[in-house]
Structure 1
């Protein structure tokens, strides 16, 4: 039996970000039983409520939403740095094959760090107008 193939799913904070990712993860596992989805989500309780019943592994990221104040922006950048460090360790330990950004601020660090590490990165964007995180990642 070959090793599990870790695929990262980054995003959260709302069902609108998580449910599309769960559907993709379920289809992926059905088509490729060796796939091991790993969700990188927010600390919001909704993420745990949605993800626990799926049986998929998930890790909460320290990333915080950007807030338009000096303190809020400093907190965001500190949380981005902490999340980046978590992701670098995760990449080293788990060697993911790809990352799928699900939208929202929680997708940004994972997609950016993985793409810089030459890990294939994709984005799900069901919105007519991409959100700020997806606009940033598309640059």
Structure 2
């Protein structure tokens, strides 16, 4: 079985794709995988680090704020978009996947759309309660939509085939004990708070946690 996975731009799209690959591999050990992603975003590093091959395709998102710089960036995005279909077709023809799965991000658009056009079984996974633009567009063309939470359903067309799967999580995250994780990170047994969210950074979370730290300090914690 050959599986083509497309998604990128942020960890929120890449890590679920890696988790899906791991789940399939645990059930079908001889499955082959190919990831499609951009050459200049996080997937270009994370996918090879995880031991998978990455087929590169140049795709950029459109900038909504009007400025001279963004006009130039949007012109480049249009150029990439015009060429992305032929590159996606090349990737699919060379790999010959049995199924193509998109996990969001601009790069998933041309790859999954072309796979659907070539009559290859397709699916997408939406990680958020409010779907991204790419997945909302692809939902009309794929065979199946996987959702982390059912609340996302209201933003899709009513006649889509869907399953609420939850969020795919990489199995290796559960292989270490709490003690092993603390030792690896250099933590002692002190009270610890984990703040996470937004692989590219999240200013609102950072600002909130700065206030939380002040409160804990004032309480002697």
Say yes or no: TM over 0.5. yes
Q: Which residue of 2 aligns with 1:22?
A: 18
Cα shift readout 1:87-116 (whole Å, capped 9, x = no counterpart):
211222221111111111111111111101
**Partners of 2:106 and 2:50 in 1: how far apart?**
22
Q: Which residue of 1 aligns with 2:201?
A: none
- Root-mean-square deviation over aligned CA pairs: 1.6
1:43 to 36, 39, 42: 39
Q: Bigger relative contact order, structure 1 or 2, given CA contacts below 8 A and separation 6+? A: 1
Q: What is the deviation of 1:52?
A: 2.0
**Partners of 1:16 and 1:136 in 2: how far apart?**
18
Q: Which has the larger radius of gyration?
A: 2
Instruction: Report the TM-score, using the length of structure 2 for normalisation.
Output: 0.57
Pair 45,103 (structure 1): closer, same or farther in 2 beyond 3 Å: closer
Q: Which residue of 1 aligns with 2:121?
A: 120
Structure 2: gaps of 5 or more residues = 65-69, 141-221
- The correspondence of residues 49-68 of structure 1 with structure 2, limited to 5 A, is 49-68=45-64
Q: What is the deviation of 1:70?
A: 5.0
Structure 1: gaps of 5 or more residues = none
Q: What is the deviation of 1:53?
A: 2.0
Q: What is the deviation of 1:57?
A: 0.9
Q: Which residue of 1 aligns with 2:78?
A: 77
Q: Which residue of 1 aligns with 2:208?
A: none
Q: What is the deviation of 1:72?
A: 3.8
> 1:100 is paired with a residue of what secondary structure?
strand
Instruction: Report the TM-score, using the length of structure 1 for normalisation.
Output: 0.87
